[in-house]
Chain A
Amino acid sequence: MAALNGAVENGQPDKKVPPLPRPLRSLEVKYTKIFINNEWHESTSGKKFPTYNPSTLEKICDIEEGDKPDVDSAVEAAKAAFQRGSPWRQMDAPSRGRFLHKLADLLERDRVILATLETMDTGKPFLQAYFIDLEGCIKTLRYYAGWADKIQGRTIPVDENFVCFTRHEPMGVCGAITPWNFPLLMLVWKMAPALCCGNTLVIKPAEQTPLTALYIGSLIKEVGFPPGVVNIVPGYGPTAGAAISTHDSIDKIAFTGSTKVGKLIKEAASKSNLKRVTLELGGKNPCIVCADADLDLAVECAHQGVFFNQGQCCTAASRVFVEEQIYAEFVKRSVEFAKKRLVGDPFDARTEQGPQIDQKQFDKILELIESGKKEGAKLECGGLAIEDRGLFIKPTVFSEVTDNMRIAKEEIFGPVQPIMKFKSIEEVIRRANSTEYGLTAAVFTKNLDRALTLASALQSGTVWINCYNALYAQAPFGGFKMSGNGREL
């Protein structure tokens, strides 16, 4: 369930296995307001919006709905916290690191609470939220805590008699707009480096999943970050999100989400104050399985690669290219895997797949599945919703997929695995690169030359060789082409 193939987890080979953590069954949601200056506020408009549990389709609670005036207040607070001479600006680098470590400590303390909230809000299996999402959050915070006093400039020998040195200064007020697929993890990926370098933040979490972001607001206050350093404004994209991307006092914006919205954000940034933009967008990631691959490994990695998180990963292995000699066997084994994938209540320890995030995504995925059937792909298993179960979709495998089909071109973001055939390396390189996306790619082969050739030929920000979703705080992640701008981690 955790990192795949060979990634050593704890470095403690003979550690005793502790009992599995249990979710909190009647968890009260304490934080539902807008977080500015370490205080909780109601929305200026008085409006609220609901957040739902996608497993039960019930409303969890109402959240204050932030809009432009709330964003303005948040930005004002963040700007004040960034003023020269402010407590945050005066704090030395190692102290910022200490704060990040303390925040990580509090995440460890409240790990069960956060994992429970995340599962309630997203439908992802609780044990995955606990062992993967929360683990990533804690490690990322600690990694960046360590960098705080290691962000070094240089002294530079220039022509003539000058003293020249660089300082790496914080950018200022950073807007962060985070998605619903890994709500807390994507937030920490932005928060940790931003705070490490001394910036202040205005964060808009996804409207589908605001709970863990707001909870972290309470931890920020508990750690003792000065007021205004971190501000959180829940709300919708076209209102709160747009207010952030067009704000003249925000120095930088970081967005993770769809390519479509990424373009809007970059446009808004250019039209307003040329704020610096980093984007983590979609992907249609090729997973290339060569005939000489370790077949069991490749099948399992490709399976987890596409089905993990209900298929809702920007890194989803949503184009599996298999060399023709092993194609039939690969499809057969992948179908076996897909058929035994356990879909159910995310709070059940046995569940591997929960519901999709909401009706809109659910409808989109089913529509793409239909297009696959209509355009002539062979439906090997799944292909429909689980009856009367709300937003649950059966793990679906398509074979005989061709590059021009919609399921081979569009990001599905659901539990659908399209498997295609290829004959030669040159061909698969060309086909893998024929996309406007370029986030990740994976290669399964035992051959050294093939591995290196593919690694350098694929136009992807990350190339995994004989593994999948090996994501670590130390290693940069981000996309080529329209999968994004810039790198995180």
Chain B
Amino acid sequence: ASPIPAPNPRPDIAYSKIFINNEWHDAVSKKTFPTINPATGEVICQVAEGDKVNAVGLRWVCSPWEQVQRGWRGRHHPMSHLGSSVFAAALETLDNGKPYAISYLVDLDMVVKCLRYFAGWSDKFHGKTIPLDGDFFCYTRHEPVGVCGQIIPWNFPLLMQAWKLGPALATGNVVVMKVAEQTPLTALYVASLIKEAGFPPGVVNIIPGYGTTAGAAISSHMDVDKVAFTGSTEVGHLIQKAAAESNLKRVTLELGGKSPNIIMSDADMDWAVDQAHFALFFNQGQCCCAGSRTYVQEGIYNEFVERSVEKAKARVVGNPFDFKTEQGPQVDEEQFKKILGYISTGQREGAKLLCGGSPAADRGYFIQPTVFGDVQDSMTIAREEIFGPVMQILKFRTIEEVIERANDSKYGLAAAVFTRDLDKANFVSQSLRAGTVWINCYDVFGAQAPFGGYKASGNGRELGEYGLEAYVEVKN
């Protein structure tokens, strides 16, 4: 494999304002906010702080965009060449803290694939002609839903942006996107590419700012037809409420999770340990679908725990621009403190701290890879989403028991089962109340495959053909 191109760890920040109508604007209030490099705790730069007044006044730019042929719309996606990938990956690492090698090989790769996938759908999302009772000609059109508010998180800034832009633009909508205040930089860079790609002005608008101001303005805006949000369940409630109280805008939500990863005693042990580690620790533990309840069948429990601890201890935490680093810092001080808080709660409630448990450096928001054993379902660390490098291992005896315990959560985003037995795989995967069930793997994503949660993990699905549905209105 060809080596990863070396990044510039001090990339030029050219874009830090609000992007509306293909132009860059200061905030109406003239306010700015800082974005921080979580590896050092230092301010990278100031970013224009969008608020209600900027979000207002965006009318649906109907004619030129509607006239644009679907095939053409499909051709124009930004980020298709190498130069922008290297730069974007470096910027992502600077703003978010994730290892550069991963930004480049995983995040950017998935971004490009997602955009290409949805580009292909532009001219293929068919309506139907329908035979009715009586002598009528009946057919459906899949029309764009309109102005789509999209509020995206800080854990995969570029990727979450692509997941939202892809289906929205492929189906002909226009977008008002509020990016996370922790990580606005790469989204703004992509805005410059949107302009370069030739999208008409007003089709994509990007507003950096805070949830309580800009985000709230979007969810309660009377001219926004639909809102898509990825973030915490707590904020998800607020968004759905605001949508209901304003204009009944359509809502899709991708929220939190406490995903069970079930390891049966007949699993391939090496592989299961490897994958369970990856399932929890990937992206500094900052994944909505993190396998944060690792249920291990009692026959293999001790060995599994021992090997998992070994693996956690060997995980390389450090400067995210260093190619050897596997784990960077947490995204900000708030998350850092919250995770340390959960760790001490875990200890207090009687879970067995097997490794880690403390900050990993004096500067920045680094936390040691942490493993708790003998975790009980009732403990806080087994019920609440930690969003950090803290692994919970629980013991179970029977399939029936583990299914019940796995489903006993307000969440239902993802789950996994590791087993060699075909019947167990079928039985467990069909019984789990989760939007994605991975069998003998974890965190396998494809632009082609729908992703989303049961219960309080969300409403609706993103990606795949299914992901197009939320962005169209069916006219019959």
Q: Could you tell me which A residues sit within 8 Å of B by CB distance? A: 8, 10-13, 93-94, 97, 139, 142-143, 145-150, 152, 163, 452, 473-474
Contact = CB atoms under 8 A, between A and B. Distances in A.
Given A145-B120, A474-B123, A152 B69 contact: no
Given A150-B121, A152-B465, A11 B448 contact: no
A75 B297 CA distance: 53
A474 B116 CA distance: 18
Chain B, interface SS category: helix
A10 B72 contact: yes
B318 to A, nearest CB: 34
Contacts of B447: 94, 149
A134 to B, nearest CB: 15
B75 A147 contact: no
Contacts of A13: 64, 67
A11 B117 contact: no
A139 B70 CA distance: 12
A142 B465 contact: no
A94 B113 contact: yes
A148 B448 CA distance: 11
Nearest to A452: B137
A11 B124 contact: no
Contact of B124 (A93, A452, A474): A474
Contacts of B124: 146-147, 150, 474
Interface string B73-111: 111000000000000000000000000000000000000
Interface in B112-127: 113, 116-117, 119-124
A8 B69 contact: yes
19 contacts: A8-B69, A11-B68, A11-B72, A11-B73, A12-B72, A94-B116, A94-B447, A97-B120, A142-B71, A142-B74, A142-B75, A143-B71, A146-B120, A146-B124, A149-B120, A150-B120, A150-B121, A163-B426, A452-B137
Task: Name the prevailing secondary structure of the A interface residues.
Answer: helix
Contacts of A12: 68, 72
Interface residues of B, number: 25
A94 B448 contact: yes
A149 B119 contact: no
Given A146-B123, A152-B465, 6 more contacts: A8-B69, A93-B448, A97-B120, A145-B120, A150-B448, A474-B124
Contacts of A93: 448
Interface in B23-59: none
Contacts of B121: 146, 150
Contacts of B116: 94, 97
B471 to A, nearest CB: 16
A147 B120 contact: yes
A261 to B, nearest CB: 33
A489 to B, nearest CB: 12
Contacts of B117: 94, 149
A452 B446 CA distance: 42
A452 B137 CA distance: 8
Nearest to A475: B123
- The 10 lowest CB-CB distance pairs between A and B, nearest first, are A146-B120, A11-B69, A11-B68, A11-B72, A474-B123, A149-B448, A452-B137, A8-B69, A163-B426, A11-B67
A94 B115 CA distance: 12
Nearest to B122: A146
A150 B69 contact: no
Contacts of A148: 120
Contacts of B113: 94
B119 A146 contact: yes
A155 B71 CA distance: 30
A12 B447 CA distance: 29
B123 A143 contact: yes
A10 B69 contact: yes
Contacts of A143: 71, 123
Nearest to A146: B120
Interface string B441-467: 000001110000000000000000100
Nearest to B73: A11
B302 to A, nearest CB: 34
Nearest to B64: A13
A150 B465 contact: yes
A149 B120 CA distance: 9
